Amino acid sequence: MAKLQVAGGVKTRLAREIGVAGAVRFARQTTAALLHRIARDPRWQAIVAVTPDSGATSPFWPHGVARVTQGAGDLGRRMQRIFDRSPLGAVVIVGTDIPGIRPAHIAEAFRLLGRHDAVLGPAADGGYWLVGLRRRPRVVRPFAGVRWSGPHALADTLANLKDLDVALVATLSDVDDAGGFKRSAGLFGRRVLPIPLE
């Protein structure tokens, strides 16, 4: 899931601390690096789910990577829509503001979905950076009543999944503030940052 990386529309909390230009540059670099690492991996089909919907046609996104719109609603409604619209089978959703995501994390999530109903990647702030569902024999609905953007999102989602077999993958950190931004600096390779998305 990705936001169109434009001023005022992405990483607004980070922008208040490091400036709008720096926050937009970070969002673009993080998204470019993530897509470079995982979008063309032959082990899965990568699709960029874009918000706002009008951003799906932007030339910003990499050529050859499928795009869909997220639609309206809170984060839970938008993620549920992705699961509902996908063909039956395992589906994994990740955000684009977690510089530490590597293909091995995605592969591990799919591996775990071979024998678990759901998989979550905890974030250090109490949320999560990955959610995956097996979606057989039915599509699960784990997002009702989840308190987003706070320390309760993971616990609320796990409570919704209490009757299912859930696995966890590695805990990673997203970047929402200047402290997270500074800690993430070493995760970028010099050769990855300049990759154009057009």
The CATH number given to whatever domain includes residue 39 is: 3.90.550.10
What is the span of the domain harbouring residue 63? 2-187
Distances in Å between the Cα of 63 and the Cα atoms of 4, 10, 44, 113, 188 are 15, 22, 17, 29, 22
In sequence order, which residues have a C-beta less than 8 Å from that of residue 165 and are 6 or more positions away?
Answer: 115, 116, 117, 118
Give the number of domains in the chain: 1
In a domain, 133, yes or no: yes
Report yes or no on 195 lying in a domain. no
pLDDT by residue for the chain (198 residues), tens only, comes to 998 877 767 776 776 777 788 788 888 888 888 999 999 899 999 999 999 999 999 888 888 889 999 999 999 999 999 999 988 889 999 998 888 999 999 999 999 999 999 999 999 889 999 999 997 777 789 999 999 988 999 999 999 999 999 999 999 987 666 566 666 665 544 333 333 333
Handedness of CA 103, 96, 196, 58 (dihedral sign): positive
Residue 120 burial class via C-beta count within 10 angstroms: exposed 0-12, middle 13-18, buried 19 and up: buried
- Cβ atoms 37, 102 nearer than 8 A: yes
pTM exceeds 0.95 = no
- 98 belongs to a structural domain: yes
Residue type, 111: R
Does some domain include residue 46? yes
